[in-house]
Amino acid sequence: MTDIAKPTTRPANPAFSSGPTAKRPGWNLDALKDAALGRSHRAKIGKAKLKQAIDLTREILNVPEDYRIGILPGSDTGAVEAILWSALGARGVDLLAWESFGEGWVTDVVKQLKLDDARVISAPYGELPDLAQVDAKTRDVVLTWNGTTSGVKVPNADWVPDDREGLIINDATSAAFAQPLDWKKFDVVTFSWQKVLGGEGAHGVVILSPRAVERLETYKPAWPLPKIFRLTKGGKLIEGIFVGETINTPSMLATEDYIDALEWAKSVGGLDGLIARADANAKTLYDWAERTPWVAPLAKDPATRSNTSVTFSIVDPEVVAKGPEAVAAVAKGIVSTLDKEGAAYDIGAYRDAPAGLRIWAGATVERSDLEALTAWLDWAFATEKAKLAG
């Protein structure tokens, strides 16, 4: 293999983790100077900050006025779990899984809630399940809109009927703020602050349609609910959750950081600007892969390729011929080498995914950093392949 010179230009920000993701460009600690530190989240100032976060979320994501937006504990996982435990069981449910987080929801519903009428519609990493098998008309549906660990997204919601009887529960944690969300097609949408906007961890957001609220107010699950999952009291929605009165104590520092990210989102053109940045970033990586023979997108269908969590497989014939252990060793070597060089942090494939690379391309990442990264990837691969050859 031809020797590749070590690049001289490093990404200005080498943080390419898929969560928590890179802070917005220009971020520093001064962004948090107005945080309500040392104050109760139930004081006037605390509730105002949380309400501001909710209102900005509605504005940026174009959430309909009759949808409720609430802040919950436990990141996106907490938000999803609250809905699974509170709303499922009223009718049959179709569970879509094509990566680890979708598989996690399958485990919760089938093995923990033990629902009898639960169908699992799955696909291997790199592919999307057959959406024609989904009964989105009469059954509830649970899915991850963008498979963070596989880099495979749902291309559109055309398969969801407007006159459905069940609920569409959409874990959109790595899609919100980067991909269009057709609100009339969804009844529950969840995400966490630390994904597309680079916020700090531990907080989740749940967005409920009027139909979802009706389900919560009219259906009582057969199992007990932990306090942090309870969204209703006395058969009525706990409205305080959706105006800034969170179930447990939130971090006012993290709240301020989220507000800062939302204000930055407005400055780059709101949702359209965020989507455009993510699309351009992802294109940089996919264009590089198109002209690079040793790597290929894990997502097989270009229409389903994520514009945030971009995943790659190592397909160099000489490496592949040496077997899966060799592929894994080269991938691990690339990740380790670039980490030591300060050129890229946290770009390894998710632990349950096939060996390869996962690079965050969301809006908080600068395209120039991804352009610089590609040269380092080529150099690191050549270095690791040479080691393999002995």
State yes or no: pLDDT of 390 exceeds 80.
no
CB atoms within 10 A of CB 34: 11
Here the tokens at position 216 are: 């919560």
Res 278 pLDDT > 60: yes
CATH code reported for the domain at 270-389: 3.90.1150.10
- Cite the DSSP H helix spans in the chain: 44-61, 75-87, 100-107, 210-218, 252-267, 270-290, 317-320, 324-341, 367-389
By DSSP bridging, strand 188-192 and strand 168-171 are parallel
Give pLDDT, residue 389. 82
Specify whether the CB–CB gap between 254 and 264 falls below 8 A.
no
Q: Residue range 339-351: average pLDDT? A: 97
CATH 3.40.640.10 fits domain 29-266: yes
> Distance (Å, rounded) from C-alpha 355 to C-alpha 334?
11
Tell me the per-residue pLDDT of 58-117, one tens digit each, with 9 for 90 and over: 999 999 999 999 999 999 999 999 999 999 999 999 999 999 999 999 999 999 999 999
What is residue 157's DSSP assignment? Answer: -
Model confidence pLDDT, tens digit, residues 37-52: 999 998 999 999 999 9
Report yes or no: 357 and 348 within 8 Å, Cβ to Cβ.
Answer: yes
Q: Where in the chain is the domain with CATH 3.40.640.10?
A: 29-266
pLDDT band at 239 (very low <50, low <70, confident <90, very high): very high
CATH 3.90.1150.10 domain span(s) along the chain: 270-389
**Is the model's pLDDT at 196 over the cut of 70?**
yes
| Mean pLDDT calculated for residue range 186-214 | 96
* Amino acid present at 71: I
Backbone angles phi, psi at 319, to 5 degrees: -70, -45
Work out the pLDDT band at 1, boundaries 50, 70, 90: very low
- pLDDT of 2 reads 53
User: Can you tell me the distance from the alpha carbon of 188 to that of 72, in angstroms, rounded to the nearest whole number?
Assistant: 14
pLDDT of residue 327: 98
Q: In a 3-state reduction of DSSP, which class is residue 207? A: strand
pLDDT digits (tens, 9 = 90+) for 132-157: 999 999 999 999 999 999 999 999 99
First to last CA, the chain: 13
Q: How far apart are CA 380 and CA 390, in angstroms?
A: 16
pLDDT of 248 reads: 84
Q: Read off the pLDDT of residues 302-335 as tens digits, 9 standing for 90 and up.
A: 999 999 999 999 999 999 999 999 999 999 999 9
Average pLDDT, the chain: 96
Name the pLDDT band for 225 (thresholds 50, 70, 90): very high
